[in-house]
Amino acid sequence: MAGTENGDSERRKYFRHNLIYAPRKAKLKIEDSDYEVKDISKGGLRFLSDEKLEKQIRGILTVSGNDPEAIEGIIVWRIGNEVGLKFKAISNDAFGFMDES
Protein backbone atom coordinates (compact mmCIF):
# COMPACT_ATOMS: atom_id res chain seq x y z
CA MET A 1 0.00 0.00 0.00
CA ALA A 2 1.29 3.40 -0.90
CA GLY A 3 2.11 6.01 1.73
CA THR A 4 0.72 9.51 1.79
CA GLU A 5 2.63 12.76 2.04
CA ASN A 6 2.48 12.74 5.85
CA GLY A 7 3.72 9.15 6.06
CA ASP A 8 0.35 7.52 6.78
CA SER A 9 -0.31 4.38 4.78
CA GLU A 10 -3.31 4.24 2.48
CA ARG A 11 -5.97 1.89 3.87
CA ARG A 12 -8.08 1.52 0.73
CA LYS A 13 -7.71 -1.51 -1.50
CA TYR A 14 -9.74 -0.05 -4.38
CA PHE A 15 -9.74 3.23 -6.28
CA ARG A 16 -12.53 5.44 -4.98
CA HIS A 17 -14.78 7.18 -7.55
CA ASN A 18 -15.72 10.60 -6.19
CA LEU A 19 -19.30 11.46 -7.16
CA ILE A 20 -19.47 14.91 -5.57
CA TYR A 21 -18.59 16.83 -8.74
CA ALA A 22 -19.05 14.04 -11.28
CA PRO A 23 -21.80 14.08 -13.89
CA ARG A 24 -22.76 10.64 -12.57
CA LYS A 25 -25.01 10.60 -9.47
CA ALA A 26 -25.81 7.75 -7.13
CA LYS A 27 -28.37 7.04 -4.45
CA LEU A 28 -28.71 4.28 -1.92
CA LYS A 29 -32.21 3.14 -1.00
CA ILE A 30 -32.57 1.43 2.38
CA GLU A 31 -36.15 0.42 3.13
CA ASP A 32 -38.19 3.58 2.37
CA SER A 33 -35.34 6.12 2.60
CA ASP A 34 -32.98 7.42 -0.09
CA TYR A 35 -29.43 8.52 0.75
CA GLU A 36 -26.95 10.53 -1.33
CA VAL A 37 -23.81 8.57 -2.22
CA LYS A 38 -20.66 10.70 -2.18
CA ASP A 39 -18.12 8.18 -3.45
CA ILE A 40 -17.89 4.52 -4.29
CA SER A 41 -15.34 1.79 -4.92
CA LYS A 42 -15.53 -1.94 -5.53
CA GLY A 43 -15.04 -2.38 -1.77
CA GLY A 44 -17.68 0.00 -0.44
CA LEU A 45 -19.16 3.48 -0.48
CA ARG A 46 -19.61 6.67 1.52
CA PHE A 47 -23.08 8.15 1.92
CA LEU A 48 -24.85 10.82 3.93
CA SER A 49 -27.36 10.08 6.69
CA ASP A 50 -28.53 11.84 9.83
CA GLU A 51 -30.55 8.78 10.85
CA LYS A 52 -29.55 5.96 13.19
CA LEU A 53 -29.01 2.92 11.01
CA GLU A 54 -28.51 -0.77 11.70
CA LYS A 55 -24.90 -1.97 11.33
CA GLN A 56 -25.96 -4.54 8.70
CA ILE A 57 -27.34 -2.83 5.58
CA ARG A 58 -29.33 -4.23 2.66
CA GLY A 59 -30.40 -1.84 -0.01
CA ILE A 60 -30.57 -0.87 -3.65
CA LEU A 61 -27.79 1.21 -5.17
CA THR A 62 -28.68 3.20 -8.28
CA VAL A 63 -25.94 4.94 -10.25
CA SER A 64 -27.10 7.11 -13.15
CA GLY A 65 -26.71 5.27 -16.44
CA ASN A 66 -26.61 1.83 -14.78
CA ASP A 67 -29.18 -0.71 -13.65
CA PRO A 68 -30.01 -0.73 -9.92
CA GLU A 69 -27.95 -3.23 -7.90
CA ALA A 70 -28.96 -4.98 -4.69
CA ILE A 71 -26.17 -4.52 -2.18
CA GLU A 72 -25.39 -5.81 1.27
CA GLY A 73 -22.79 -4.39 3.60
CA ILE A 74 -21.64 -3.40 7.05
CA ILE A 75 -21.27 0.12 8.40
CA VAL A 76 -17.59 0.38 9.34
CA TRP A 77 -17.37 4.06 10.32
CA ARG A 78 -19.43 7.16 10.90
CA ILE A 79 -18.21 10.77 11.19
CA GLY A 80 -20.98 13.33 11.60
CA ASN A 81 -23.51 12.61 8.86
CA GLU A 82 -21.02 10.67 6.68
CA VAL A 83 -21.25 6.89 6.79
CA GLY A 84 -18.74 4.33 5.46
CA LEU A 85 -20.24 1.11 4.17
CA LYS A 86 -18.10 -1.94 3.32
CA PHE A 87 -19.70 -4.33 0.83
CA LYS A 88 -20.07 -7.92 2.04
CA ALA A 89 -19.89 -9.29 -1.49
CA ILE A 90 -20.39 -7.78 -4.89
CA SER A 91 -20.67 -9.29 -8.35
CA ASN A 92 -17.67 -8.85 -10.63
CA ASP A 93 -20.10 -7.52 -13.25
CA ALA A 94 -21.60 -4.90 -10.93
CA PHE A 95 -20.77 -1.25 -11.46
CA GLY A 96 -19.03 -1.63 -14.81
CA PHE A 97 -18.58 2.15 -14.87
CA MET A 98 -15.82 1.74 -12.26
CA ASP A 99 -13.62 0.17 -14.90
CA GLU A 100 -13.83 3.42 -16.92
CA SER A 101 -10.91 5.68 -16.09
Beta strand 56-63 with 44-48: parallel, antiparallel or unpaired?
unpaired
- Domain range enclosing 83: 17-99
Residue 2 placed within a domain: no
pTM over 0.75? The answer is: no
pLDDT digits (tens, 9 = 90+) for 1-47: 344 444 445 555 655 555 554 556 889 999 999 999 998 888 899 99
**Whole-number average pLDDT of the chain:** 79
The pLDDT assigned to 99 comes to 57
Report yes or no on 65 lying in a domain: yes
Could you tell me what percent of the chain has a pLDDT over 70?
64
Q: Is 9 within the bounds of a domain?
A: no
Residue 11 lies in a domain: no
Q: What is the mean pLDDT of residues 67-81?
A: 95
Asked if residue 7 is part of any domain, the answer here is: no
* Structural domains counted in the chain: 1
Residue 70 covered by a domain: yes
**What percent of the chain has pLDDT above 90?**
50
Question: For residues 18 and 101, what is the distance between their CA atoms, to the nearest angstrom?
Answer: 12
